[in-house]
Each structure stands twice: as C-alpha cells, then as structure tokens.
Structure 1
C-alpha cells in the first residue's frame, strides 16, 4: 500500500509540482489563441452534432450509449477527488513554507486562501493543481455530447456554462487570480460527490428521493457567492489582492451562471411546463460540468 509519506510526495513534493510555472512556451493550452479556438471548436462541434441528429433521426428517441456515461462519471469523480486532495495538501505545504514571508505583510493562511498578495506569480504547487483543474475542464465538457445523444436536446445553459468555466479557469492561471485555491477546493469536492452519485445511479443503484445534483449545485453557487464577498472585503482591508481585475470579470460571469441556475431551480420547484419536460432527468442536466 502507498504510505502517507509517498502520497504527500506525489501530491505536493514531486519536482514537476514544486517546479511548475505557467508559461505560454512550456504549458500546453496556455495561449489565448488556444483558449478561444478550443471554445469555438467545442461550441461548433456540439451544434453540429445536434443538427446532424435532427437531420438523420427524425424521432427524438435517446441513443443508447452503453457504459459510456457511467465510465465518464467515474473518471470525473476520481479526477476531481485527486485534484481536491492535491491542492489541499499543496496548500498546506505552501502555507508551511511561506509563513515566514507572510508575517512581514501580516497575512494569515485564511486570508491567503481568499486574497493572494500583490505580485504573486503563477508558479509552484497550487498553480500546478490549478493547471490540472484547467485541463480537466475539457474532460468535463465531453458530458455535453453525451447529453445531446441521450436527451436529443442542446441546452444554451450547457454551452454557456462549460465555455465560461473553461475561460475562468484560464484566467486564474494567466493573472494569478485570488480566491482560486478555495474555489477549486469547493468545486472539486462537490464534483467528486456529484459524479460519484451519477456513477452510482448509472450502474442501476437507487437514486435519491430529491434532486441531488441540483441541490449540490446550488450549495456550490451559494458558497462561491459568500466567498466572493470575502475577497472584496479583503481587497479593501489589505490594500489589494492579486489579479483583482480578472476576479471582477470572473464575478460577472459567475453572476450570469447563478442567474441561469436560479432560474432553472425556481422553474423546477414551481412545477412549470419547462420542469415537466425535464422530468426525472432534470437535475442531471443542470450540473453538467
């Protein structure tokens, strides 16, 4: 069995983790051209698949995918759990190694989770796991295509949500944005639970008697909202947080996602016609990352 020491080494002390540096020349997918072209390709491929299905299959019956959805859910649950463990252990190591420097600026570990000091560079342990999280967003986006095949419906929320989340995770690295450590911890924790639940139900085990996915998504959005308020307060109290410009743009995009999610949530619980069309699978189509 792997010892705790070995696990800590591979999660936070491996040379490739400690020596990581976000660079347009060294990091795959780190250029603006790659970001915009990949998002455009994702949207175009999703729309093309949806149109082809409408042209080739007049009926709107779901296309059987076999074990593919279950495999994707299991993979994403394991990846999310690994990122959560990695950034948690790496954050603890980073706090231990740099606490002497924080004493000079009177920064506590709690404040660091919300607000990076000005001049923070995208290098080291936590940014390695932020980079892994950024790459995992592309694997999350594959769920859009399985949803199109299964439900024969292309959702604007899906395309918008996935595209924005890829874009935001890129901004975290490009501008060493504050709050990203806490955001990744919260998000990967929820994803590991949600995708684990999806795998559970995909293999035929009983599902919850309430919309589990939707409630997890709303909890995550609520936590993000509270944390964003904390970042704003620390920015003015501490005299500035690193990457605050990107954080403002990020907050606007998060607000748009929150509005769409709340709109879906209210419609579902008020029993409107849209919720009737969604039916029992509605909760799975909201949290589509």
Structure 2
C-alpha cells in the first residue's frame, strides 16, 4: 500500500514537470489574454451558429452513444485524477503543513508555480475539453438540442474558462478548495452521464444537482473564512480574481436553484396531483 501511495504521489506531485511548473503570463500554453478571448468567442460563435442554422447533420444514434460514452469516461477519470492530484499537491506545497494556506495564499508571496498550480492549469484546459458537451448536444438532433441546450449550460461552459484563467493569472486564493470540490462533483456528474449513455440510468439524478448546489454554498462558507484571514492578517493573494469567482458562483447558484425548482419541485407537485 505504501509503495502504491509513493508511486501515485510521484506521478501526481513529485514528477519534475509538475514540481517545476510555473505559469508565465504570455509564455505558458494558454496564458495570453488573446488565447482566452479567442477560445471563449469561438465557443459562443460556433454554438450559436450550430444551434440556429444546424448546418451539420446529426450523428447516428450508435455513433453519438459511442462518442458520448468515451467523452464522459475521459472526463470522469480526468476529474478524479485532478481531485486527487490537487489534494496531494496542496498538502505537499503548503508551508509547515499550515491549512490556512489552502484558504488564503499570502498576498505578494505566492507566485503561480508548483504542483498546485500545475493541476489548476490542467483544470483550465479540462474546461475547454468540456466544450465537447455542447457539440454532442447539438449533434444529437433537434429534439435533444431544444431539450438540453439551455442558457445555464452555455453560460457555465463559457464563463468557467475565464474563471480558471484568473485562478492562474492572479494566483487566486482558495484555488485548491475550489478545484478539489468542483472536480469531485464532476466525477459524480460524468459518472452519471456515462451510465445513462450505457443504458443504465441511475435513480440519483437529483443527487448530482443537489451536490452542485451544496458545492456553491460550501464555497461561500469557506470564502467567509478567507475574508476573515484577509482583513485580519496581511491579506490574501488574488482577491480581485476571487471577486469575479464569487459573483460567478452566485449567478450559477441562482440558476441552479431555478433549474432545481423547475425540474424537481414541479415534478413532485404533478406526482402528488396524479395520486
């Protein structure tokens, strides 16, 4: 067991490419504002074009199921690796095993380098990979597109890439906590989608949405602790990036609560009426 842990720790934390990682604005892959702007704009433009004009023919049911299953499996496993990798990296990188570091990076003393920021970079690119979610919805045909391509879906996929960019460019405080909780929820979410694609629809669909809402509530609770450290100490790094993150999370929480109410409360009422 110890040998297994050592191997995992080496490949997820101690490998030279990970320990020596450093985000250099304009030099590291994907670190320029132009890359960010082109990526998000292209996603929105392609999504709008495909949704309105549907110039690509829908995939066959067999091809769509195969590609969707592969995509969900990749993102489920990648989310698990990111959650484990960032957890081990944060514990390894925090000074003197002081847990406050995971909540409040010291202002002006936390350059975006080391294993924790390596996993933040992987997470950043994983959000671009998730754009395939939208493509698969569009290629699923008009009925799938109208049913699943919502404002919440497109808004979340576009803005989360900006959020992840700010995590790295500002060495944003709370980054490890946000990454681990989000990746953990995505393990559950993509695991659910994978099972659905394979024809085994679990009964815990509502659990996925509930966990997403709990994630946002938890982030606000931890943010309260971070703000306490920020105003009673020497400050926390990347506070402006955190402000963007907080506003984004608040908007997502409102949208998820609306989605939860429309999809579950309404169904519950209809079920009670039909009794």
State the TM-score, normalizing by the size of structure 2: 0.87
Structure 2 residue 211 is the aligned partner of structure 1 residue 211: no
Question: Who is 1:285 aligned against?
Answer: none
Question: Who is 2:68 aligned against?
Answer: 69
Cα distance change on mapping 1:196 and 1:210 into 2, 3 Å: closer
Preserved contact between residue 130 and residue 173 of structure 1 (Cα < 8 Å): yes
> How far, CA to CA, are the matches of 2:80 and 2:265 in structure 1?
34
Cα distance change on mapping 1:212 and 1:69 into 2, 3 Å: farther
Preserved contact between residue 62 and residue 152 of structure 1 (Cα < 8 Å): no
Preserved contact between residue 13 and residue 89 of structure 2 (Cα < 8 Å): yes
Question: Who is 2:49 aligned against?
Answer: 48
> How far, CA to CA, are the matches of 1:267 and 1:42 in structure 2?
27
Cα distance change on mapping 1:209 and 1:77 into 2, 3 Å: closer
Q: Which runs of 5+ in 1 are unaligned?
A: 100-107, 277-289
> How far, CA to CA, are the matches of 1:156 and 1:63 in structure 2?
26
Q: Which runs of 5+ in 2 are unaligned?
A: 271-275
> How far, CA to CA, are the matches of 1:50 and 1:143 in structure 2?
14
Matched pairs, number: 260
Structure 2 residue 145 is the aligned partner of structure 1 residue 152: yes
Question: Who is 1:250 aligned against?
Answer: 245
> How far, CA to CA, are the matches of 1:87 and 1:56 in structure 2?
38
> How far, CA to CA, are the matches of 2:222 and 2:136 in structure 1?
32
Question: Who is 1:281 aligned against?
Answer: none
Task: Identify the match of residue 138 of structure 1 among 105, 122, 128.
Answer: 128
* Deviation for aligned residue 1:50: 1.0
Preserved contact between residue 104 and residue 230 of structure 2 (Cα < 8 Å): yes
Question: Who is 1:16 aligned against?
Answer: 17
Question: Who is 1:78 aligned against?
Answer: 77
Q: Once superposed, what is the RMSD of the aligned Cα atoms? A: 2.3
Structure 2 residue 81 is the aligned partner of structure 1 residue 88: no
Question: Who is 2:273 aligned against?
Answer: none
SS at match of 1:67: helix
State the TM-score, normalizing by the size of structure 1: 0.83
* Deviation for aligned residue 1:17: 0.7
Task: Identify the match of residue 118 of structure 1 among 92, 98, 107.
Answer: 107
